[in-house]
Structure 1
């Protein structure tokens, strides 16, 4: 039995260039919606990885990252306001509280003024969002058994998700319909 042939050494990756950066950003935006700040962080990570493999300083390419993000904003392929509106609708439909939604938008790099403006325009009722989360997580009236024994834990779970005690208790003690109960 012969020994396996040694693998030839890998060539270092090609250097970071304006074209490479543009293609990387375009590829990312084809798959995911993004904000300016988030795309910048993604590109910085890509540059850092590539520079580490080449033994270069990633700080040399910081201007190129900013220039690429600005180019996509100029082309109107990135719009923080539009991203925030779409993400807000998705999160609220899934049952996220206003607090949690604002936090997630801020984490993605949406500035506070835009978050405040988008949250102001939100017409989703907090109680309806609490009921949606209870349904999605099978809490309260959507639990198949042990409903009364688990009531306090279910209320606490909704409160940890950012809902008030009143909205949490109403969602857990309700009958499971999407309409608010008049108690």
Structure 2
């Protein structure tokens, strides 16, 4: 197996990357935004990956395209295609419906590149919402009242599972020891 320069393994069956320019990056950004709702930082990462891959292959300097990326991302933000607040609110609601804790939601938003201030505004810790999310998580993972085995023997493991998911010990105990509301 012949390796490319920079220790990069060859990519079997994958065509060579296109030579990037501002028009290509603009089209790539719009195509990506047609499929995904992303924050500004995520769009920058996607475009930068395309630039890095193309520049490695064509022996170009990736810094030449930083102004084009700034312009494209700025235009997407100005036109409303990229809105960090809208993304953060929608993503937080989606993750809460799936049974994620406030901590997990905050970590997920931060990983996507949402700023700390916006994460703090979006993810508000409310005991009722947290309890409902913990119940959803327990139901999905078949913990506590939703488990099929011996609940007493598995109690500590189930509480630990919810605690690792980011729920407080009080909420984890409430859900695991509950009668299975809505079961």
Would the TM-score normalized by the shorter structure come out above 0.5? Answer: yes
Rounded Cα–Cα distance in structure 1 between residues aligned with 2:15 and 2:146:
57
| TM-score, normalised relative to structure 2 | 0.85
Q: Normalized against structure 1, the TM-score is what? A: 0.85
- Corresponding residue number in structure 2 for 1:32: 36
From the CA coordinates, give the structure whose radius of gyration is larger. 1
Mean CA deviation greater in 132-141 or 78-87: 132-141
Query: Which residue does the alignment assign to 1:3?
Result: none
Q: Is the 8 Å Cα contact of residues 155 and 165 (structure 1) preserved in structure 2?
A: yes
1:69 paired residue among 68, 73, 78? 73
1:82 pairs, out of 78, 83, 86, with 86
Aligned length, in residue pairs: 170
CA shift for structure 1 position 168:
0.3
**Secondary structure of the residue that 1:150 maps to in structure 2?**
helix
What's the Cα RMSD here?
2.1
Q: Tell me how far apart the structure 2 counterparts of residues 124 and 86 of structure 1 sit (CA, whole Å).
A: 19
Listed as ranges, the gaps of 5+ residues in structure 2 are 1-13
Do residues 43 (structure 1) and 67 (structure 2) align?
A: no
Aligned partner of 2:98 among 73, 91, 94: 94
Q: From the two aligned structures, give the one with the greater helix fraction.
A: 2
Structure 2 distance, partners of 1:12, 1:174, is 57
Q: How does 1:27-176 map to 2 (within 5 A)?
A: 27-120=31-124, 125-176=129-180
Change (3 A) 1:48 1:134: same
Distance 1:91 1:12, change over 3 A: closer
Answer yes or no: is the 8 Å Cα contact 2:102–2:124 preserved in 1. no
